[in-house]
Chains A and B, each alone.
Chain A
Amino acid sequence: MSETPATSAEFIERRDPRTQSQGVEPGYAHTAQRWPSQPLQRRPLTAAELSGPRDLTRRLPRVRGDLAGYGDKRAIGQLIHLRTRVVDEDGAPVPGAVVEIWHCNAAGRYIHPNDTHGAPVDPNFYGAARLVAGDSGLVELRTIKPAAYPVPDAAGWWRPPHVHFSVWGRVWLSRLVTQMFFPGEPLNEADAILNAIRDPEARARCIARLAPTAQGPQDALVFEYQIVVRGRKAASSLP
């Protein structure tokens, strides 16, 4: 059987190494146990890799559009709106993109049972949401700003405040898991995860932008962030 070019109109280019980590990062001990020691293999891209699930909400439903709550259920912390736009490499929005978001509370504690460090749990904060982008590729989440927290057994490495994103683009290879950071945070400079992205411009794009407060809501800061997923329309359809 011979190799057959993909017939999908989606076009995926190879990862740009400047926007990615090396794999084993000296400041992050677990990577030495887990990142493959052999060079990653190249493969031809076929219909399998260049297709993807449609309407993922059939398996992954929307969950919690608001993490901050109201009144006596309001979570402790700085109220923020995260305005995130999901676009492709052409800058075109990805309508219907599923976006999972999770982060720790305003004291630095995650709801996950494996987070057992001393910062208090906030009974009004359940920090996990799943949203679906509208036609403009936009998802908006009302939440509270996460705190920094110390990484256990890591000689003083504190994670800066950050928000985890897990995103689906149009096809299997568009899948993206990343983290968003906040502007002006002193811990950004030394974070092993953010700084694993070597290119300064690529790194800067991982940091949200504070929207001007004069135009914003009275009670919340608005942070804007763009996620670019892999894939763009091919110039022409392949046979």
Chain B
Amino acid sequence: MCGTCGCGHTLIKPARAKTTGGALNFRPVSGTPEAGAAVPQTPTSEAETRRIKVERDLLAENDGWAGENRARFGAAKTLALNLVSSPGSGKTTILVRTLQELRGKVPLAVIEGDQQTENDAERIRATGVPAVQINTGKGCHLDAVMVRHGAEELPDLACGVLFIENVGNLVCPASFDLGEDAKVLVLSVTEGEDKPLKYPDMFRAARLMLLNKCDLLPHLAFDAELACANARRVNPDIEIIRLSATSGEGMDDWLAWIARQQAA
């Protein structure tokens, strides 16, 4: 069992290097009760059935850890951004370019979430920015405890920016607060304009949408106006920046947005 929070996750710590290698692996909790839990027993026929009022929120445990993360980030004046999208939208490419722009100006670090491989963390580390990889195994999202563990592996980020790249998935990560300041949703123009209508929960949860790969627009039938209208239909307050991590279009707006969040 994890010594920090008592979670049932199997946690494999990086061998020694804090940020240079070794993924944190999380596996689904096994169905076996923990030591001390009531063990299934053959019920006796005279066993009395009782009704126990519980009234506990299923996300309360996650939300508790998210609150702790938020308090820690707040105390250190660390801006924490949770990047969410479907797989292949270009989150990592945006991150690499963003880190190259911000490096040397503010403290930076990245928590990478994927089911398998350390490929993304290696791409991040190539920029010189510390990164920790969390492998969720069969898990489809990061949760607040994973982020807590990941953040413990990273250097102090006073007045800096922590980017959390969630597992590529437009459904599940919407429900799990990580303690971030904002969710940043990446939609690429190689996807459908109706993604916001198909996956409204995520678009509703996001503060900013980055419409990525805009350099490809001349070659596609994608209607960017319609995509933005659909996003606003689901979330009237969502901010939108059109971007290309390849050409650099919109990067200034994105960096200015980050600076505004830091100042807020």
Q: Do A and B bind each other?
A: no
